[in-house]
Structure 1
Amino acid sequence: MEDVMLLILILSGFLSLPSSSEFYLVNERRTWAEAQRHCRENSSDLASVHHDGDSRRLLMAAGRSGDSGRSAWIGLFDESTVWKLSEDASLEVNTDSLDWMKEQPNNFAGSQHCLYITQTGILNDFFCSTPFHFICYDDRNASRYVLVEVKLSWSEAQAYCRGRHTDLMSLRSREEQEDVRRSLKWAGNVWVGLYRDPWASWSDGSASSFSDWKATQPDNQGRDRQCAAVLLHTGKWVDENCREEKPFFCFKAETKLKRLKMTMRTVADMNDVEIQQQLLQQLRAHILLKGLKVSRMFWGKIQKKEEEK
């Protein structure tokens, strides 16, 4: 039997990670989109707030500008036209791909993030905690669609379908809506497997896990509030119409160069550029999942003296 030589290589990758951010207030009135463009052209991006420390630093950056009621844009926004599929959260459907009730979806009170389908086959967004009948999808069933006439909240219906079938039924197009309407008959409204993840990301692409909303916010008053602003006298957040003109916070990221050392046992030729690129792509995806931003990664060689340390 031919012996296989195991290569043991020590490689270094370099990546730039944000270590801290400098917030500053721009006292020029701009819409949210104009503010975003200004920040990206002149620093890094609109401000991202990820913990209480960031909130305190925003107020410090506001200085004496914190008169009562005044607010300034930050980088948080609500992608109101994109719906996720219960069966795969990485898949998305745009509002324009589906048929809706008149003047829907409207995200009433800023709290309607789940969809039901009416008995006529059109959609509406509604409060996820409301109990409705629901439709499961079952890839083991010839008919595929299973109407469940038990009233549950959206999340309870999702758990039921996943436990007994495949998942809540998802819709990707008007054609699928029509197919369901022809395949099943039901009375009233029934949950389907489409939902929104509100206020999920910041302008710089980072995920939103921290929030500091003012009481009763966000409320989507006027049904047109998809951008967040911070009250300069309290630091609390409010939702606003993105077309309003306000001062805004930018941030300038300070970065540090980090070196990663890895020891790998492999039969692959690590001098192969294609293999190196595949590994870099996998590392980049893993780091992004951790909520970190990567500006550059590359392979470098370690000198023999450094190896022996």
Structure 2
Amino acid sequence: MTWTEAQSYCREHFTDLVTIYNSDINQLLFSISPRVHDWAWIGLYDDRYSWKWSMEEKLFYVGSTHEFLIWANGQPDIVNANEYCVALQGQTQMDDRPCGDSYPFLCYNAKNTSYILVKESRSWSAAQSYCRTYHTDLTSIRSKEEKSNITLTLNGSGVQYVWIGLYRDPWAFWSDNTTSTFTNWKPFEPSNYYHTEYCGAFYLKTGTWEDGSSTFSFSFFCFTAVTKQTVVKMKLQSEADMHSTEIQQQVSQQLSGLMLSEGLTDFRIRWRKVQSYHDDQLKKQDVDGGCKTEV
């Protein structure tokens, strides 16, 4: 099947396309594979539109989008699977380039909201270090106003390419949305040989990986997740009215926040009525020798 067809099949009949977390799992897949010159899809893929800004965590840019960015014709194309940083081409259009290439670069200074063109050619990471040392960071483009200011800064500069703060992490995604940094690429892979190779394939003869076009038809590895259910019961005692829907929602929100902060995402919270705090206190008085007159 194609990669997309394989993904749909695995999700329908199992859990998903396989995620390979370590060499043990890779070896397991290799041990059950025929030693043939053929490939099998795994869940790894490369999202060529998963770009992010060097200033992503800076409050100045939180909540904005890339709507003002224009790719040059045919870009991004990830030539030789080696283009993961972005330079402005002709002052207005973006082009993905090898991060090790040396170009002038554009810094942003948040103190006086200015854009500084540094004509000294450096790699993307060296340009980032320079901007963070002497200014704020490599520049981002998040509004029409910013784009206009950057165009004015570059106007008449004569530079063909200039680094900006856009980049991405290659081959960082798995079909089941889990995170694994383990890789087992064949030498000189990934290569993006056909310029459309954004899916990970397992070479059955050696157990190494290659990139392949999603339109290729290969065998594939599915997996079934083994889950364990844990039930945690909590008894809440409070002078507040715990039967109040509003209070229950507030408590549920706090509990949900704590669960998420611990990395737990698959959970549900249910309320079960036991007894009120007032009833509990009356019962405690009876046990302690208190008296109750019945009429």
Say whether residues 1:296 and 2:267 are aligned partners. Answer: yes
Q: Distance in 1 between matches of 2:30 and 2:241?
A: 53
Structure with the higher strand share, 1 or 2: 1
Matched, 1:273 2:248: yes
The one of 220, 227, 231 equivalent to 1:255 is: 227
| Residue of structure 2 in register with 1:10 after alignment | none
| Matched-pair contact (CA < 8 Å) for 1:84–1:93 | no
What is residue 289 of structure 2 aligned with on the other side?
Answer: none
2:85 corresponds in structure 1 to 114
- 1:99–1:174 Cα contact (<8 Å) kept: no
Q: Deviations over 1:88-111 (max 9, x none)?
A: 1687866x8632333222101001
* 2:31 alignment partner in structure 1: 60
Change (3 A) 1:180 1:223: same
Aligned pairs (5 A) from 1:42-191: 42-62=13-33, 65-67=34-36, 69-88=37-56, 98-142=69-113, 144-172=114-142, 176-185=146-155, 186-188=157-159, 189-191=161-163
Q: For residue 254 of structure 1, give the secondary structure of its aligned residue in structure 2.
A: coil
Offset of residue 140 of structure 1 = 1.2
- CA shift, 1:115, in A, is 0.6
**Structure 2: stretches of 5+ with no match in the other structure:** 275-295
| 1:202-281 matched pairs, under 5 angstroms | 202-258=174-230, 272-281=247-256
User: What is the root-mean-square deviation of aligned Cα atoms in Å?
Assistant: 3.0
Give the conservation status (yes or no) of the 8 Å contact 2:100–2:124: yes
Deviation sequence 1:188-236 (CA, Å, 0-9, x none):
2211000111111100001231111111111111110110010112111
Taking structure 2 as the reference length, what is the TM-score of the superposition?
0.78
The one-letter code of the counterpart of 1:76 is L
**1:153: Cα distance to partner?**
1.4
Q: Given that residues 122 and 177 in structure 1 are in contact (C-alpha distance below 8 angstroms), is that contact kept between their aligned partners in structure 2?
A: no
Aligned length: 263
Q: Percent identity?
A: 36
Query: CA-to-partner distance for each residue in 1:123-155, whole Å, 9 max, x for gaps?
Result: 21111112221111112114x211122322111
CA distances 1:45-99 after superposition (whole Å, capped 9, x unpaired): 000001011101212332xx231x21100000111123111111687866x8632
Q: 1:283 aligns with which of 245, 248, 258?
A: 258
Higher relative contact order (CA 8 A, sep 6+): 1
Report how far residue 174 of structure 1 moved.
Answer: 7.3
Alpha-carbon shift at residue 260 of structure 1 (Å): 6.8
Give me the TM-score of the superposition, normalised by structure 1: 0.75
Unpaired stretches in structure 1, ≥5 consecutive residues: 1-29, 304-309
